[in-house]
Structure 1
Amino acid sequence: MNPSRTFVMAKNVFQEVIRDRILYIIGFYAIILAVGNRAIFEFAATTQDKIFLDFGLAGMNIIGLIVVVFIGTALVNKEIEKRTILMLIAKPISRSEFITSKYLGLSGVLAVLIAAMTAIYLVFLQLGKIPYPTTTILIAVLFLFLQLTLISAVAITLGVFTSSLIATPLTFAVYLMGNITQDLVALGHLSQNPGVERITQGLYLILPNLSRLDLKNDAVYGLQAIPDPVTLIGNATYGLLYSFMLLAITIFIFLRREF
């Protein structure tokens, strides 16, 4: 794999997605915060600070997830449907470089979106004079980015496996189930059914444990302290390794596809 060629292709993916008016989403996020702030003040004046803190992070999460799922599942399929994949793989570009560049390009778009939405979020907090723990909020946002890049890898993997129409709901399903993997195991134990327990254990082992990358409630409500640095590094490493594993599987499958 040629790193410089991969990054050039990733830059092209980044520019292509940006040209698709993806940055309008940043303005949409600002409007949501403005409307949400007004509504929260009207209906929950006594607890508006905590609710708005949660609302801002949740909105960032949902918008990032929608962008990642709908774009990620179509990145490879779009090239196949338009037959541009034939020209790309005919050039001195390996299929591993092709998949890696798609992932890096989408991650770059995601980084810009998260950074811009975080800046807007902090401006609203300052203007509303809402007290917030700066360090923990920024750590939560960083782990939100890691979580969404992992979902990017899921979306690209499923996009290579099947059509975008099927890959989109499957990616949403992986996200939802990845946030409740520990609850699935507990549900299996409660069922006292060996078959159900094996299924839930299997899902726990296969699905990404996205709760390890979710620090929103800890940052906003302080239900428990932000994990210590060793745990944070371990969780971040888990997310990155899971993403790399998915990309390796995707490349392996893509190498064997005929066009």
Structure 2
Amino acid sequence: MNLGRVWVIAVNVFREVIRDRILYLLGVFAIALVSIAALLPEVAAGTELKILLDVGLAAIGLTGLVIAIFVGTGLVNKEIEKRTVYVLIAKPVSKAEFILGKHLGLSAVLAVLVTAMTLIFVAVVSFYRAPFPLASILIAALFQFLELSLMVAVAILFGVFTSSLLAIALTVGIYLMGHFSRDLVSLGNLSQNPVMERITQGLYLLLPDLARLNLKNQAVYGLAALPPASELWANAAYGVLYTALLLAIATVIFSRRQF
């Protein structure tokens, strides 16, 4: 694999997405957050800080998720539909370099957006002049980026072999099921049916356990609730490895497509 070619593809994706006025979302995010912060004292006296923390982190995750899904599913699919993939195939670029470059480019955009939104979020919260778990919020934001990067890989995987609309629907489904995969295991155990237990356990192993990367509640309700450092490292490694596996599968499927 030539990292230089991967870098060129990633930079092109980054520039294309930025040109699509994605950064205007930062202005919308800032205006919405300031508006909510101004209204909260009127409707939630005494609890406005925690509500603002909860809403702010949720807004960061939701904004990033929309970009990851709607842009990610079209990264490869649009190349196929517009037939520009033929030009890429004619060049000395491997399928793995193409998929990895697309993923890194959009992930870089999300990294910039998450960082900027987190800084805006911290600045708005700081106006309350009340203590808040800054370190916990930063860690939660980092894990939100890891989750979004994983979802980009999911979106690319489905975009390789399905239409854009179906890829979006499937990616949303994986996101929802990934957050409730642990509940599936609990449901299987409650059924006391061996077949159902094996099915739910199999789904849990197959689906991404996105709860590992969701530290929003811990960030809102205190630093003491965060998992220990060893568990955080293990969860981060899980997210990176699962992302790599999805990209490997996408590469295999893409390489077997007939254009």
Q: What's the TM-score, normalizing by structure 1?
A: 0.97
Q: Structure 1 residue 105: deviation in Å? A: 0.3
1:25-72 residue CA offsets vs partner (Å, 9 max, x unmatched) = 111111210222123222111210111011100000111101100000
CA distance in 2, matches of 1:65, 1:246: 17
User: Residue type matched to 1:38 in 2?
Assistant: A
Q: Structure 1 residue 199: deviation in Å? A: 2.3
1:149-189 residue CA offsets vs partner (Å, 9 max, x unmatched) = 01111111011121110010111111111111111100111
Q: Structure 1 residue 128: deviation in Å? A: 2.7
CA distance in 2, matches of 1:18, 1:73: 17
2:139 paired with 1:117: no
1:54-99 residue CA offsets vs partner (Å, 9 max, x unmatched) = 1100000111101100000111011111110000111111111111
Q: Structure 1 residue 244: deviation in Å? A: 0.2
**Which stretch of structure 1 is more off in the superposition, 108-117 or 182-191?**
182-191
CA contact (8 A) 1:77 1:164 kept: yes
**Structure-1 residue corresponding to 2:167:** 167
Structure 1, unpaired ranges of 5+: none
CA distance in 1, matches of 2:110, 2:41: 30
**Structure-1 residue corresponding to 2:233:** 233
User: Residue type matched to 1:246 in 2?
Assistant: L
CA distance in 1, matches of 2:223, 2:128: 23
CA distance in 2, matches of 1:184, 1:222: 28
**Structure-1 residue corresponding to 2:89:** 89
SS at match of 1:211: helix
1:209-254 residue CA offsets vs partner (Å, 9 max, x unmatched) = 0111111101111396211111111110000000000000110111
**Which stretch of structure 1 is more off in the superposition, 27-36 or 245-254?**
27-36
**Structure-1 residue corresponding to 2:256:** 256
CA contact (8 A) 2:135 2:223 kept: no
2:222 paired with 1:222: yes
CA distance in 2, matches of 1:164, 1:192: 40
User: Residue type matched to 2:148 in 1?
Assistant: L
2:243 paired with 1:243: yes
Two-structure CA RMSD over aligned residues (Å) = 1.2
CA distance in 2, matches of 1:188, 1:110: 36
Taking the TM superposition and a 5 Å limit, the aligned residue runs for 1:81-230 are 81-222=81-222, 225-230=225-230
2:78 paired with 1:78: yes
In structure 2, relative to structure 1, the CA distance for the partners of 1:29 and 1:173 (3 Å cut) is same
CA contact (8 A) 1:217 1:223 kept: no
User: Residue type matched to 2:217 in 1?
Assistant: N
CA contact (8 A) 1:75 1:156 kept: yes
CA distance in 2, matches of 1:4, 1:130: 47
2:38 paired with 1:41: no
**Structure-2 residue corresponding to 1:28:** 28
SS at match of 1:46: coil
CA contact (8 A) 1:49 1:131 kept: no
SS at match of 2:170: helix
Q: How many residue pairs align between the two structures?
A: 259
**Structure-2 residue corresponding to 1:60:** 60
SS at match of 1:129: coil
CA distance in 2, matches of 1:193, 1:159: 36
CA distance in 2, matches of 1:227, 1:177: 23
CA distance in 1, matches of 2:258, 2:44: 57
